[in-house]
Structure 1
Amino acid sequence: MTNEKNWKTLSEFVHINSPWLRLIGEKIEDNQGQILDYWRIEKADSVVIITIQEDYFLFPIPSYRPGLGKVTLDFPGGRIPAGKTPIEVVPHILARELGIPPDSNLNLTPLNRKGWAINSSFSNQKLYGFVAQIGSEIAISADYLGAKYPITPEGIKQLLESLTCLQCRSLLLEWIIDKGSTA
């Protein structure tokens, strides 16, 4: 195992701040004495929510993703503002993306209590996942609903053919594993 104490940050040659991220370029000396240029991004942590109502996964209207240059299907999600906890932002994300009033009685279950590193060599960002069981009394307007997939083996197979977001896919896999262990 590599000893992290042998790695040293020597200097910072770029530092760009924006409301969305901070880009940092650094000169780092590795554990073998080599000087390397490293680039990294600091971003707020994220939450992705698997939304279930009755026997269906619910998805908001697909969004344009500039990094891919196309519209994609994703579970509801968003950034965690400074000073907030992951569970505090879930109702606001569900209100924004599915029109669910923030004071709705939802059954929220965390999929991970410690955030997972999204890309540990390039970013500090962590991902937190939740499952939101939405009661049948909560109506989701067609203005917010982008897709529904049945929670069946065939429905999950079809969903995986449409779902390109790795974060969404990993949380879905975690849900499937967790569901299998509690079935």
Structure 2
Amino acid sequence: MNSQQNWKTLSCFIDLDCPWLRLIGEKLENEQGQILDYWRIEKADSVVIITLQNERLLFPRAMYRPGLGKVTLDFPGGRVSEGKSPLEVVPDILQRELGIREEAIIALTPLNETGWAINSSFSNQKLYGFVAQLSSNLIISPEYLAATYPTSKQGIKELLKNLTCLQCRSLLLEWQIQALSVD
């Protein structure tokens, strides 16, 4: 199964490094001897947090997504800074996106212990998911909050109509599957 050792990097024809990503173009020779131009991106890993309060899912302000050219609804999320673990960045993300202080998080549960490859053919980036249960008496400022959805079957069904981010959708569905396996 390990055919990686049969692939050879012949040359690098572009290596563009910027704060958000590194773009690499290489000439590779595969196991059949074919020479391929191959592009890949190296990016910091991502964290997405399902935020729950009083059996409702909370969403921060919708943000403009340049890749789509539109504003989308997403769970709170961000990049894992160099030298930090995915768990360590969660409080900063929740503070930035929902104005939530760390002490308002009453439970924080990882959905996956090892990151999932976002696009293993094109990128090294991994996705880490967490579920943050927030204090029931926490009041979140309306300036931070874009939407809430009940955690009921109907609420999830409605949410899936409005949630276009595949990372957010996959973590929501993973959370649902894990909840079913506990019951």
- Give the whole-Å Cα distance in 2 for the aligned partners of 1:101 and 1:3: 48
3-state SS of the aligned residue for 1:15? strand
Contact 1:91 1:103 (8 Å CA) reproduced: no
**Contact 2:48/2:76 (<8 A) preserved:** yes
SS at match of 2:149: strand
Give the counterpart letter for 1:157 in structure 2.
K
User: Which stretch of the first structure deviates more once superposed, 138-147 or 61-70?
Assistant: 138-147
| Paired amino acid for 1:90 | V
**Alignment correspondent of 1:47:** 47
TM-score by length of 2: 0.98
* 2:74 is the alignment partner of 1:86: no
Instruction: Report whether the alignment pairs 1:179 with 2:179.
Output: yes
Shift of 1:2: 5.5
Rounded Cα–Cα distance in structure 2 between residues aligned with 1:124 and 1:105: 30
Give, in whole Å, the separation in 2 of the partners of 1:169 and 1:51.
14
What does residue 114 of structure 1 align with? Answer: 114
> Given residue 125 of structure 1, which amino acid in structure 2 is its aligned partner?
Q
User: Does the alignment pair 1:63 with 2:66?
Assistant: no
| Whole-angstrom distance in 2 between the partners of 1:120 and 1:131 | 24
In the other structure, the counterpart of 2:12 is: 12
Partner residue of 1:98? 98
Rounded to whole Å, the distance in 1 between the matches of 2:20 and 2:105 is 31
| Unpaired segments ≥5 residues, structure 2 | none
Task: Quote how far apart the aligned CAs of 1:138 are.
Answer: 1.7
Work out the CA distance in 1 between the residues paired with 2:102 and 2:111. Answer: 20
Decide which moves more: 137-146 or 35-44: 137-146
1:161 aligns with 2:181: no
Distance 1:73 1:151 in 2: 16
Q: Which runs of 5+ in 1 are unaligned?
A: none
Report the RMSD for the aligned CA atoms in angstroms: 0.9
Q: Report deviation, 1:3.
A: 1.2
Task: Give how far 1:38 is off.
Answer: 0.3
**Partner amino acid, structure 2, of 1:78:** G
Task: Provide the C-alpha distance between the structure 2 equivalents of 1:22 and 1:139, rounded to a whole number of angstroms.
Answer: 40
Query: For the residues of structure 1 that align with 2:80 and 2:38, how far apart are their CA atoms?
Result: 26
Say if 2:105 and 2:133, in contact at 8 Å, map to a contact too.
no
The one-character-per-residue Cα deviations of 1:95-151 (angstroms, maximum 9, x if unpaired) are 000000134343100000000000000000000000000011221110101000001
Q: Percent identity?
A: 68
